[in-house]
Amino acid sequence: MILIMNFLNFFGLDKYINWIDTSENNQTISKHVIADVYESFLAAVYLVYGLDKVREIVLDVLSEEKIFSSMDVFVFRESVVANESKRKKINYNKIFKSIIGKKSIINYKQENFNIDKVTLSLKVNGKVLSQGEGINEKIAKNYALKKACYKLMMEDTRNEINYKFIIQIIVGEFSKIEYIEKAKNGNNFVVELVNSGKCLAVGEGKTLKTANKHATKKACLNFMK
């Protein structure tokens, strides 16, 4: 509620709302109206600019010192900022193309005409691989690509996909990944795939090479879930 009450002043939108709450016999803007305006504003931003812009706006409002009148709000903001710093944008289109190859023909078919939700089928060489849903075409495509990548990785029993290339796309081109050898499990090697001090996955194999590849594939699948 603190966030909502400071919303109008933060963006200067109060002067655009002509509202008198007669039940209180004064000329103040109803809290319910402020809440509706707040939700509508964020929804409009989401439709036009996407979730990242909405997150940026919420964090900007939360960062105002005057809002921190309670420890609960401060803790909430710290949690949001921490989660934001861990979040990465993944280029599913680039990953997908690296899996299927440049010569494959990719098509998207819209399966519905609902104004509230777009459903797209992702086809490769005429075969449907996945479906994605979203409030717009971009989000639906991205979700379909993510599901298709996960499906193809799961079906890759011979591990022919270049998972090291994919994990580098996921964590960032200039982000360092390391393979740390652990104690053997019987005759098998065990390794941890680490990025920025965080273990992404543990792999096991008869050789270090197979253990590394196993860890890399598991890390990629974890990101695709």
Structure tokens at 114: 């609902």
* Overall average pLDDT of the 170-186 stretch: 91
Q: Report the CATH number that the domain containing residue 98 is assigned in CATH.
A: 3.30.160.20
Is 177 in the same domain as 217?
yes
Is 15 in the same domain as 82?
yes
Q: What is the pLDDT of residue 37?
A: 76
Q: What is the pLDDT of residue 73?
A: 44
Q: What is the pLDDT of residue 105?
A: 92
H helices present in the chain, as ranges:
2-11, 31-49, 51-62, 71-86, 92-100, 137-155, 163-171, 208-224
Please say which residue of 134, 155, 176 terminates a domain: 155
Domain extent for 219: 159-225
Please say which residue of 155, 172, 199 terminates a domain: 155
Whether the predicted pLDDT of 102 surpasses 60: yes
Q: What is the DSSP string of 10-27?
A: HHT-GGG-----GGGTS-
**Strand-by-strand arrangement of the 127-134 sheet:** 106-110, 118-124, 127-134
How many domains does one find in the chain? 3
Is 142 in the same domain as 163?
no
Write the pLDDT tens digit of every residue in 6-46. Answer: 555 556 666 666 655 555 555 555 666 767 777 787 888 88
Is 81 in the same domain as 103?
no
Q: What is the pLDDT of residue 31?
A: 64
Distance CA 151, CA 181 (A): 29
Whether the predicted pLDDT of 96 surpasses 80: yes
